[in-house]
Structure 1
């Protein structure tokens, strides 16, 4: 199977499995999405979705957020982890949004990545999911599957993103990155991985990955 055929197989398979791709993080507008994505760093969407209602009940706009102290924000978001850094970032970026953007989330990668605690992945998620701008945010699931599927070298997420953007049609990026995440969680997790269930990897996967899986399963 050529790489082009593999890409087509992935697209068709994921479209059949996940014709609809709801955004995993609960939010109501670009600002609440930005905060939710920031909170999701080294946490899970499920945990973030438990915490954001508590935070947004107190502050769902930049103006409301800056009325809270950093300590108050940190106390609310503590269960998601990295709360000292995240609380400072949320407080500072809310001030910047008010002072520089009239309280609105800017619609550019450059402006978003200049905000405290906002990296390239967070900016990419916001641009794609809030504003519909083509982007391919790479999380651990996408990084893992692009390697397992022999579509990227697995060196780092920067290279994985470049490969994904090069291989997949731009008009499919926003939906496809979510489809791959859903597939990774359901069919090809990092732990408890069952190759019998993971039909895409069985069909197009890297031979060394499949051999390593079989070796661990048989103990030989």
Structure 2
């Protein structure tokens, strides 16, 4: 039997994005998902108990016992919710976060994932340079995500006479974007490898400055 290997999850929040609203939305969603099955069971149980106890017990008894399922529901509702980082990411808006679930193209999803992995290795370096690279990476990931619609349209487009020029121009623009993204990824990878190999700090700083000077979009 073939086992399904889960895809590696990656994401990046927009620099200076406010994560609080996404966390609150994820909390509400998790609490709602947890309460929904309990609520159905509580309502059904309360109705059954009310019917049974209304016949077999004094009135003050069945009122109290019939409320037990509803009290359990209230207790479940106030219990604290444990959230995983991925839950918060899924609750975030596309304006604030880029993540693997937004990429339907596996090639571009892996490409964006590599960019994130390389960047993670930079976090202990000079904060100002890393912040510059982080902003560049965010712009690159957004551009790559936005290009998915265009790539899909090109795959489906028929090369008719009236569309040939537009298709050729769009293809050239995507090729230029890919070239710049590849250049940016190579520069990130070099810095990450030098960190892993514990190379000369001056060489690492020089490589980091080169990454910060690149613009993957222009």
Tell me the TM-score normalised to structure 1 length.
0.29
Larger RCO (CA under 8 A, 6+ residues apart): 2
Greater gyration radius: 2
